[in-house]
A and B are shown apart, each in its own frame.
Chain A
């Protein structure tokens, strides 16, 4: 990740994904092949990549600065997802879930990630 010209090649299931996400600049997240939402520790969206924007139908500019769990992905506003981020300073858990992209049920695999002390937290999303 030190070479800015190198392409971003992150794997959803990679055990080292969190470490890699912590070093990636926000202007490179569109190069990631799965959906990625970057938030501050209050849940406010600071990064929303092209893959996620395309699937959700939500333009990036509509999403940035809004609370993800309340305004953007309210289907995750429960103890299984939102509460996990609130409860855990350090987090790396996967969960099968259903998103409601364009009001259609869409099965996804979520990976919830946060490193203790980091100002960022991440929700990675891929189809299943």
Chain B
């Protein structure tokens, strides 16, 4: 680190590197696109989540992917281009995640500036699994109560 380097210059470079690393490691999928779906930035989590839908595509544009998964998001993004902030409530989709399984993803879109939209992908598979497990336990408990009541009725009828 030579003393000839302009003051602050190295800090800017380091800050950029740190910022890039921050988005690289972010477990939430992030895209920066324009109003026509052209992809400017994408982080690794977004690719990891959408890879089954991307296939041999190049991901230059997001709309062909959304067209497969959540077509209504395209009109949400491309219509009313003056609207800023969150563009719609999160939409949930299913996508292959392993040989015989699926992931549940939530997609959100936020217009952060004119012509710049951030698309956010959240993996909500764990939440979905917990809800399914809760439903299963509730159904099992209900069935057990019904069985116990039937047994009581049969015992009372005998006596």
Partner-B contacts on A (CB < 8 A): 57, 71, 73-81, 83, 96-100, 102-105, 107
Judge whether B64 is part of the interface by a CB distance below 8 angstroms: no
Given A105-B39, A105-B42, decide whether A74 and B25 contact each other with a Cβ distance below 8 A. yes
A79–B58 CB distance below 8 A: no
Q: How far is the CA of A102 from the CA of B46 in the complex (A)?
A: 14
With most chain B CB atoms within 10 A of its CB, the pick from A80, A81, A103 is A103
Judge whether B69 is part of the interface by a CB distance below 8 angstroms: no
Report the count of interface residues on B (CB-CB < 8 A).
Answer: 28
B39–A74 CB distance below 8 A: no
Q: Which of A57, A71, A78 contacts B48 (CB 8 A)?
A: A78
Q: Whose C-beta in chain B lies nearest to the C-beta of A77?
A: B48
Q: How far is the CA of A77 from the CA of B97 in the complex (A)?
A: 11
Known contacts A74-B24, A80-B52; 4 further A-B pairs (Cβ under 8 A)? A76-B44, A78-B97, A79-B97, A99-B47
Q: With a CB–CB cut-off of 8 A, which chain A residues contact B41?
A: 103-104
B20–A102 CB distance below 8 A: yes
Q: With a CB–CB cut-off of 8 A, which chain A residues contact B58?
A: 98, 105, 107
Q: Whose C-beta in chain B lies nearest to the C-beta of A103?
A: B41
Total residue contacts A-B, CB cutoff 8 A: 68
Contact with A along B69-107 (1 / 0, CB 8 A): 000000000000000000000000000111100000000
Q: With a CB–CB cut-off of 8 A, which chain A residues contact B23?
A: 103
List, sorted by A's number, 24 A–B pairs whose CB atoms are closer than 8 Å.
A74-B24, A74-B45, A74-B48, A75-B46, A76-B48, A77-B48, A78-B48, A78-B97, A80-B51, A80-B52, A98-B47, A98-B51, A98-B59, A100-B42, A100-B44, A103-B24, A103-B42, A103-B43, A104-B40, A104-B41, A105-B42, A105-B58, A107-B58, A107-B59
Q: Whose C-beta in chain A lies nearest to the C-beta of B98?
A: A79
Q: Which of B44, B55, B56, B99 contacts A74 (CB 8 A)?
A: B44
A83–B98 CB distance below 8 A: yes
Judge whether B60 is part of the interface by a CB distance below 8 angstroms: yes
Judge whether B66 is part of the interface by a CB distance below 8 angstroms: no
B51–A78 CB distance below 8 A: yes
Q: How far is the CA of A42 from the CA of B59 in the complex (A)?
A: 29
Q: Which of A73, A79, A83 contacts B44 (CB 8 A)?
A: A73
Q: Whose C-beta in chain B lies nearest to the C-beta of A57?
A: B20
Q: With a CB–CB cut-off of 8 A, which chain A residues contact B43?
A: 100, 103
Q: With a CB–CB cut-off of 8 A, which chain B residues contact A77?
A: 44, 48
Q: Whose C-beta in chain B lies nearest to the C-beta of A87?
A: B99
Judge whether B120 is part of the interface by a CB distance below 8 angstroms: no
B99–A79 CB distance below 8 A: yes
